[in-house]
A = this chain, B = another copy of it.
Amino acid sequence: MKSGQASIRDIAKALGVSVSTVSRALKNHPDISEETCRKVQEYAQSVHYRPNAMALGLKNQRSMTIGVIVPEIVHHFFSSVISGIEDMAYGNGYRVMICQSNEDYRREVINVQALMDHRVDGLLVSISKTTLDYNHFSDVIQHDIPIVFMDRVCNEISSDRVITNDFEGARLVVTHLLERGCKKIMHLAGPQHLSVGRDRFEGYRQALKEFNIPLDEEYVLRCDTPGKLHARRNQILSLAPKTDAVFAVNDFTAVAAMRLLQDNDYRVPENIRVAGFGDDPVATMVRPALTTVEQRGYDMGKEASRMLINRLTDDKDKNFQTKTYPAFLKVREST
């Protein structure tokens, strides 16, 4: 017995018919007699025939595959996004090819390359923190491969987008802190060249402004990972006595900050309040549970996938859309 999977040609040979007849019989083409269809289909079934996706892709000039590039799959947000993408894609007959940039620009370029080599029909991308040049994406678009950016979007490229209302989310949570009576709110900020980092900072700034509190740059730290937080622990602890609250750009950093403060005998929220962004599962696992802003990764992935598939099928030349998910405040124990 041949070890490889059966091809349409194997079936043709076994049944003494031509490959075209087999091909047509398998899809009940009216030109083929019922008798032949039955025999072909039965035989195909018996040898577990399955069409070769590569051959189909070559022939049809579309791979039915969507390429996905995210910074790091280990972040719950991004893995949720991927789950959403997968569910929508598989439901529409598309396969998904996932790559991680590991927040590395060069890796991102290589990822794009690899996906293009596989002739993916479209791309779903969340750009890395270190990406400042976008030519690899414009190359893709020049080849008529549509891209939908998710969360970490790229404003320099006109395309579809799926984002959270980061500005409003940050404004909401900082307003919440101000309403609790906080005057001096530290912001652990993300990279300002990314829209998510910038918008959350702007939301922070706006909330302060609405409460007539001047922005104190000293209390805005570029610090968006537990690692960076640890590296700047002394700076943060020296600021802490004068601080009412901490608003971190993501939940990991917020939790790390909370632990740092608690380990130094601050009580949360009594002495200092802490809030994050993203509503990671960890937010409900820590004590006190973390106040944060909901970010619906699964839905965003699903929507991005839907937009891409739509562009791949129906309306190729529709104007680019930006789907913005509203931000919901999740008030918990930490504030």
Contacts and interface: CB of A to CB of B under 8 A. Distances in A.
Interface stretch (A24-32, A49-57, A185-193, A208-216): A49-57
A110 B91 CA distance: 12
Contacts of A176: none
Interface string A17-40: 000000000000000000000000
- Chain multiplicity (copies): 2
Contact of A4 (B57, B74, B143, B287): B143
A100 to B, nearest CB: 6
Interface string A84-99: 0010001000011111
Interface residues of A, number: 50
A9 interface: no
Contacts of A282: 281-282, 285
A76 interface: yes
A116 interface: yes
A58 B48 contact: no
The winner among A58, A117, A281 for most chain B CB atoms within 10 A is: A117
Contacts of A98: 96-98
Contacts of A51: 117
A55 B52 CA distance: 12
Interface string A250-271: 0000011001001000000000
A108 B287 CA distance: 37
Nearest to A298: B74
A52 B48 contact: no
Contact of A79 (B54, B79, B144): B79
A182 B119 CA distance: 59
Contact of A119 (B5, B63, B86, B118): B5
Interface string A115-138: 011110000000000000000000
A48 B139 contact: yes
Given A51-B117, A58-B58, A282-B282, A143 B5 contact: yes
Nearest to A61: B4
Contacts of A99: 86
Interface in A212-240: none
A333 B87 CA distance: 39
A12 interface: no
Interface in A139-167: 139, 142-144
A61 B2 CA distance: 14
Nearest to A118: B53
A73 B63 contact: no
A3 interface: yes
A116 B76 contact: no
Counting from the closest, the 8 A-B pairs by CB-CB distance are A3-B144, A74-B79, A54-B54, A54-B57, A73-B79, A53-B118, A53-B117, A98-B98
